[in-house]
């Protein structure tokens, strides 16, 4: 029956993560496997007020079809926030509202990737990007991600050897690893890419969730003509509305808008209006401060528990922000095997495999701290530490 | 600079319609060019109530990430409506919620179309489908659409000569023509396709907006294993939420869901919850009755005005439902040339060109009646009739 399908869809990995998450919804499982923002922090009352106001004042307009580029006031708001928070000059005309930043990845694939062209991706990397790009059948070039950023040797080697069309990275508090590219690393990466034909896809859904340290300068500010910057309201507002955006250079905008129009005409406009009303009537920074405080405390609890309960030979990231922490088991230890034991003992995480283009039995694990309270983190990590210790010895 | 783009995006026609619509937003232009549902009929108060209830009762859940397949209760509702309104048995597992039915087209392209495979499309045809499929670089086979449905000779010829992967049609009150496939036409088309490898993509956004006559049986009920049926809430509820769906046979579902996940993770879930709350607390049929009554009256006014003011040699459709009417100028008369004169005289329509895979200076025109009141229709059609009469002679 398979001849009915396109070749492209046959290449896309089934989401192993999805299967894993199904096994972890059991109520008495302590799950570090999720990847969700904490629902206790959603501004429900404020969204209610915004919804009522939008419908009372702009009902007919807010419910009608709208433009593919997105709500102009929202694009302006994003432009102003870039200016005030990051010192970046971004023209609203270079901002395209997308149906979550996931759609940004699909639009990039549609618009830029020909079959067999080279797409470099940090490894471990964001699963959704691997999935989205896979549909356009690129030749993936994995670039190892270290605790301070991309492997420069590997990037240099790849860029000399291949015409890299895109390089994809989440430079701030990455999913799955929680790692960030240091400023020095960014300098070097930008130097290697500068003037080439390569587009840097800078995916930044977690940038606003920074717990400590200096803000690092974006790739967009370093090589703007070669950067597509993706953003999202999912982690600082609410994910269910599926509102993200992309910033792209002039020369790419027209084609991206055509691709957007062909994909879903435009992003849910009622949601865009509610979001904009929320942003107008509330202090987003105050809200983000609350999210940061909670996630930061939970991250601290997780790091403390790991240092107490995990065997000493296990390395792990201590993220400056975001929602994830990364642990590296000794070489040769399969985290999938550990997962099978852990789920029996009612604790879950995501084994590293799906975050690599092509690897099984990786020795890495993703641990989410945004949705579990400090006390439960302590219990869960203790349980997991025991399993790992037993497994290793 | 063009080498930066994928070959596929270079193939997609820029939306000529979009350019046309820009010229018609001027306030004193009477526009039959639009394609929007009438905003006066949006159930604003009911949507407000539904939004409040969803946030009060299910806030955290309604704002969180959700499943790629869509809200299970909404899928069940759609399944039940098929049973009660069309006598169709559709398992909710075979329903995938999409970001407008436009996304359904993209997912079909992603999942099924390889480059150069044959895609038959009725002509004139829905522009958004031509755009969405173009990205996957098929070989388009235009099948002429007549006043009673598809050209059977052309379909037979094409299906003997080519391995047709898909055939796309809007069998009820089509956009742009307002034409429908008769039951006899459907019988014949189904007979030609039955048992072949061809998938019938039955796009039905207007089916509920029927003014008169018997309901025609869907292709889905004739050749279910070969049909993908697309539906939409845009014309019976509100378009800005971007909620549509697709019904597909078992063998296609898994791949379609993977494509959906890669495209935008899931459809705006807050919107799905609001919609479902609305459907639970209100009588949709009553609402649809109001829409039908208004559009039907406006269609009647347009037909009456055309028969009064257009030259006698002009043929036109008298639709049984939907939002559009189609007029055919004498052979050799370019409706684009007429458009240029019309816009000077402050009346607008869409010239036929963009509704063909590859034609310029077509002698056809699309006239929208959903958004213009009866009195204005009379004035606009009179104005247009004068322009056409002058132009022809």
Q: Render pLDDT for A176-200 as a digit per residue (tens, 0 to 9).
A: 999 999 999 999 999 999 999 999 9
> Do B193 and B200 form a contact (C-beta atoms < 8 A)?
yes
Asked if B307 is an interface residue toward chain A (Cβ–Cβ < 8 A), one would say no
Residue A303 tokens, joined:
């790091």
For residue range A116-153, list pLDDT tens digits in order: 999 999 999 999 999 999 999 999 999 999 999 999 99
What does the pLDDT average to over B244-251?
A: 98
Residue B264 has its nearest CB partner, among A6, A52, A242, at A242
pLDDT of residue A393: 86
CA distance B14 to chain A (A): 7
**Half-sphere exposure (Cβ direction) of B154: Cα atoms closer than 13 Å:** 15
User: Is the CB of residue A327 less than 8 Å from the CB of residue A364?
Assistant: yes
The verdict on B280 touching A (C-beta cutoff 8 Å) is no
Beta bridge partners of B229: B202, B247
Q: Which two tokens stand for residue B285?
A: 């049929």
B391, exposed or middle or buried, with CB in 10 Å at 0-12, 13-18, 19+?
A: middle
ipTM exceeding cut-off 0.90 for this assembly: yes
Task: Flag whether residue B131 sits within 8 Å of chain A, measured between CB atoms.
Answer: yes
Interchain CB contact of B2 with A (< 8 Å) = no
Query: Nearest-CA distance from B371 to chain A in Å?
Result: 12
Task: Compute the distance between CA of residue A128 and CA of residue A133 in angstroms, rounded to an integer.
Answer: 9
A239 vs B9, B18, B64: nearest CB = B64
Longest C-alpha distance within chain A, in Å? 66
User: Does position A2 have pLDDT exceeding 80, yes or no?
Assistant: no
| Residue B164: closest CA among B134, B140, B128, B144 | B140
CA distance B180 to B207: 10
Q: Is the pLDDT of residue B20 over 90?
A: no
Cβ contact (<8 Å) for A110 and B9? yes
Q: Are A242 and A268 in contact (CB under 8 A)?
A: yes
Cβ-Cβ contacts under 8 Å for B269 (sequence gap 6 or more): A240, A241, A242, B62, B63, B64, B65, B66, B71
Q: Annotate B249-306 with DSSP letters as a single string.
A: -HHHHHHHHHHHHHHHSS--HHHHHHHHHHHHHS-HHHHHHHHHHHHHHHHHHHHHHH
CA dist list (Å): B55 to A45, A48, B270: 8, 7, 9
Mutate to test the interface with B, among A55, A198, A203, A262 (most CBs of B within 10 A): A262
A258 in B contact zone (CB under 8 Å): yes
Integer Cα distance of B390 and B309 in angstroms: 12
Residue of B42, B103, B258 lying closest to A60 (CB–CB)? B42
CA geometry: angle at A24 spanning A240 and B79, to 5°? 55
Instruction: Kindly state the tokens that stand for B58.
Output: 């299910």
B38 touches chain A (CB under 8 A): no
Residues in B closer than 8 angstroms to A4, CB to CB, are 112, 197, 199, 251-252
C-beta atoms of A63 and B240 within 8 A:
yes
Paired with B350 in beta bridges are B366
Tens of pLDDT, residues B214-243: 999 999 999 999 999 999 999 999 999 999
Q: Which residue, B47, B265, B161, B112, is CA-closest to A17?
A: B265
Q: CB-based contact (8 Å) between B25 and chain A? A: no
Task: Give the pLDDT confidence of B295-339 residue by residue, as tens digits.
Answer: 999 999 999 999 999 999 999 999 999 999 999 999 999 999 999
Tokens representing B117 are 């495979």
Nearest chain B Cα to A16, which residue?
A: B258
Distances A320 to A371, A373, B132, B166 between C-alpha atoms, Å: 17, 18, 42, 50
Residue A159, pLDDT above cutoff 70: yes
Residue A242 at interface with chain B, using a CB cutoff of 8 Å: yes
**What's the confidence (pLDDT) of residue B311?**
97
Tokens of A321: 């922000």
Strand partners, B30: B347
Closest Cα in chain B to A4: B112
Residues in chain A: 393
pLDDT at A234 over 50: yes
Judged against a pLDDT cut of 80, whether residue B261 lies above it is answered with yes
Q: How far is CA A279 from the centre of its chain?
A: 22
Element (H, E) at A33: none
- Cβ of B44 within 8 Å of Cβ of A59? The answer is yes
**Statement: the pTM of the whole predicted model exceeds 0.80:** yes
Which alpha helices (H) appear in chain B, and where do they start and end? Answer: 7-10, 16-23, 44-63, 72-86, 100-112, 127-134, 152-161, 183-193, 219-222, 250-264, 269-281, 284-309, 335-344, 374-392
- Using the Cα atoms of residue B376, residue B377, residue B378 and residue B382 in order, give the sign of their dihedral: positive
pLDDT at B358: 84
The position carrying tokens 């852990």 is A342
Interface membership of B64 toward A (CB under 8 Å): yes
Are B8 and A48 inside 8 Å of each other by CB? no
Neighboring chain A residues of B252 at a CB cutoff of 8 Å: 4
B18: pLDDT strictly greater than 90: no
Q: Smallest Cβ distance to B265: which of A65, A102, A266?
A: A102
Tell me the pLDDT of chain B averaged across its residues.
95
CA distance to partner chain B, nearest, from residue A95 (Å) = 18
Q: Give residue A78's pLDDT band: very low, low, confident or very high (50, 70, 90).
A: very high
B196 in contact with chain A, both atoms CB, cutoff 8 A:
no
Coil/strand/helix, residue A140? strand
B125 touches chain A (CB under 8 A): no
For residue B11, what pLDDT is reported?
Answer: 76
B305 Cβ contact list (under 8 Å, min separation 6): B377, B378, B381, B382, B385
Nearest C-alpha neighbor of B62 from the set A271, A349, A328: A271
Strand extents, DSSP E, A310-360:
315-316, 324-328, 347-348, 350-351
- Per-residue confidence (pLDDT) for residue B2, from 0 to 100: 57
Q: Do B111 and A6 touch (CB under 8 A)?
A: yes
A230 part of contact set with chain B, CB < 8 Å: no
B110/A238 touch (CB, cutoff 8 Å), yes or no: no
Distance between CA atoms of residues A135 and B256, nearest Å: 12
Instruction: Show the CA angle centred on residue A22, arms to residues A366 and B106, nearest 5°.
Output: 90
Q: Please tell me the distance in Å from B103's CA to the nearest CA on chain A.
A: 5
Mutate to test the interface with A, among B262, B268, B270 (most CBs of A within 10 A): B262
Contacts of B291 in chain A (CB under 8 A): none
Q: What's the rounded Cα separation, in Å, for the pair A278 and A48? A: 9
Contact flag A99-B51 (C-beta cutoff 8 Å) = no
* Residue B3, pLDDT above cutoff 90: no
Confidence of residue A1 (pLDDT cuts 50, 70, 90): very low
Looking at per-residue pLDDT, the higher value among A60 and A17 belongs to A60
B148 to chain A nearest CA, in Å? 29
Cβ of residue A132 closer than 8 Å to a chain B Cβ: yes
Asked whether residue B14 carries a pLDDT value surpassing 80, the answer given is: no
Per-residue confidence at A299, pLDDT binned at 50, 70, 90?
very high
In the prediction, which pLDDT does B1 show? 44
A14 has a chain B CB within 8 A of its CB:
yes
Q: What is the pLDDT of residue A139?
A: 96
Closest partner residue to B264 among A64, A102, A251, by Cβ? A102
């Amino acid at each position: 029956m398979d001849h009915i399908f396109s070749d492209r869809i046959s290449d896309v990995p089934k989401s192993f993560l999805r299967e894993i998450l199904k096994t972890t919804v059991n109520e008495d499982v302590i799950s570090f496997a999720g990847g969700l923002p904490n629902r206790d922090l959603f501004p429900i009352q404020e969204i209610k007020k915004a919804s009522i106001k939008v419908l009372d004042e702009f009902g007919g307009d807010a419910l009608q079809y709208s433009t593919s580029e997105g709500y102009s006031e929202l694009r302006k708001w994003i432009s102003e926030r870039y200016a005030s928070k990051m010192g970046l000059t971004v023209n609203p005309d270079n901002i395209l509202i997308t149906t979550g930043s996931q759609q940004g990845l699909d639009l990039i694939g549609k618009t830029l990737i020909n079959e067999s062209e080279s797409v470099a991706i940090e490894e471990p990397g964001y699963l959704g990007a691997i999935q989205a790009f896979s549909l356009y059948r690129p030749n993936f070039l994995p670039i190892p991600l270290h605790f301070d950023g991309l492997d420069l040797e590997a990037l240099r080697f790849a860029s000399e050897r291949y015409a890299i069309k895109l390089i994809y990275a989440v430079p701030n508090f990455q999913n799955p690893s929680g790692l960030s590219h240091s400023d020095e690393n960014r300098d070097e990466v930008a130097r290697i890419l500068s003037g080439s034909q390569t587009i840097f896809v800078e995916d930044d859904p977690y940038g606003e969730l920074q717990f400590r340290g200096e803000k690092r300068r974006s790739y967009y500010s370093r090589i703007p003509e070669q950067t597509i910057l993706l953003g999202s309201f999912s982690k600082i507002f609410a994910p269910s509305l599926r509102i993200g955006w992309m910033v792209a250079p002039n020369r790419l905008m027209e084609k991206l808008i055509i691709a957007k129009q062909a994909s879903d005409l435009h992003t849910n406009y009622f949601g865009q209006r509610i979001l904009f009303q929320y942003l107008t009537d509330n202090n987003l920074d105050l809200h983000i401060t609350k999210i940061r405080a909670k996630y930061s405390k939970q991250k601290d609890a997780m790091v403390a528990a790991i240092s107490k309960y995990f065997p000493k030979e296990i390395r792990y990231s201590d993220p400056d922000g975001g929602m994830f922490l990364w642990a590296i088991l000794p070489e040769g230890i399969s985290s999938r095997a550990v997962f099978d034991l852990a789920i029996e003992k009612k604790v879950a995480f995501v084994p590293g495999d799906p975050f690599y283009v092509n690897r099984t039995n990786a020795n890495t694990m993703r641990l989410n701290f945004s949705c579990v309270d400090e006390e439960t983190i302590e219990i869960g990590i203790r349980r997991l530490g025991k399993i790992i210790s037993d497994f290793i010895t």
